[in-house]
Structure 1
Amino acid sequence: MPNPAPGFRARPDHKVLVDSGPDAVTVRYGDAIVAASTAGLVVREDGYPARAYVPRDDVDVQLIPSEHTTYCPFKGRTVYFHVTVAGTRLADAAWSYPEPYDEMERIAGHVAFDDRFEIAIG
């Protein structure tokens, strides 16, 4: 692997699983559908709730890049987006891993949304 995650070397017991998605993932904010996909992924990481990731092409709102970034030793550098939906601007409400580590390469091109959104999986 040319770009392995350092987190897995340091903590081989830590699990981050990427499951092929359910039949459907729908992301809503109030009555507005923000994203709908039949090609979503579900990331299950020790210590965190399961999180749906949808292909960026299935996001129905504009994602405005944020200055905010974080880092995960298992997934890589995180970039955040502001989301405007139903006239409300939600700062740093979505994120993506543009160049994830090799073990997480399946989430490249996918976006996750925070808990301000209602996310239906299945």
Structure 2
Amino acid sequence: MKAIFNGVVVAESNDTVVVEGNHYFPEASLKREYTSFSNHRTSCAWKGQARYLSLLVNGELASDAIWYYPEPSDAAAQIKDRVAFGRGVQIVE
């Protein structure tokens, strides 16, 4: 699977976990040179508190386009050390 934003592959892995229709990529597959800080947080009743990163690729910013659960609940343990994508990021095989 590949996560693509603004024509650039920002993560790639054959090991994704699908939860609620979202592919969670191993954190190590994320190309950090395209990420930037976000202080956005959300809370999920069954997964826990999510933190976010933004993407900056070729001058285009996607705020809060990456989310992850640093300390997921026991029910969501399979997404520990994984990231998911939204906000204009295309997920393809």
**When the two structures are superposed, what TM-score results if normalisation uses the length of structure 1?**
0.70
Structure 1 runs, 4 residues or longer, greater than 2 Å off: 61-65
Structure showing the higher strand proportion among its residues:
2
Query: What amino acid is the match of 1:60?
Result: K
- Residue number in structure 1 paired with 2:56: 84
Alignment RMSD = 1.3
Letter in 2 for 1:59: L
SS in 2 for 1:104: helix
Deviation of 1:93 (Å): 0.8
Displacement of 1:65 in angstroms is 3.0
Alignment of 1:54-73 (within 5 A): 54-62=25-33, 63-73=35-45
Q: Does 1:107 align with 2:79?
A: yes
Following superposition, the deviation at residue 115 of structure 1 comes to 3.8
> 2:11 maps to what in 1?
35
Unaligned runs of 5+ in 1: 1-24, 45-49
Bigger radius of gyration among the two: 1
Which deviations, in whole Å up to 9, do the C-alpha atoms of 1:40-95 show, x marking residues without a partner?
Answer: 11113xxxxx1111011101243333111010011000101111112212111110
Gapped runs of 5+ residues in structure 2? none
Contact 1:61 1:85 in 2 (8 A): no
Secondary structure, aligned partner of 1:39 = coil
Cα pair 2:64 2:87 within 8 Å, conserved: no
Instruction: Provide the TM-score with structure 2 as the length reference.
Output: 0.90
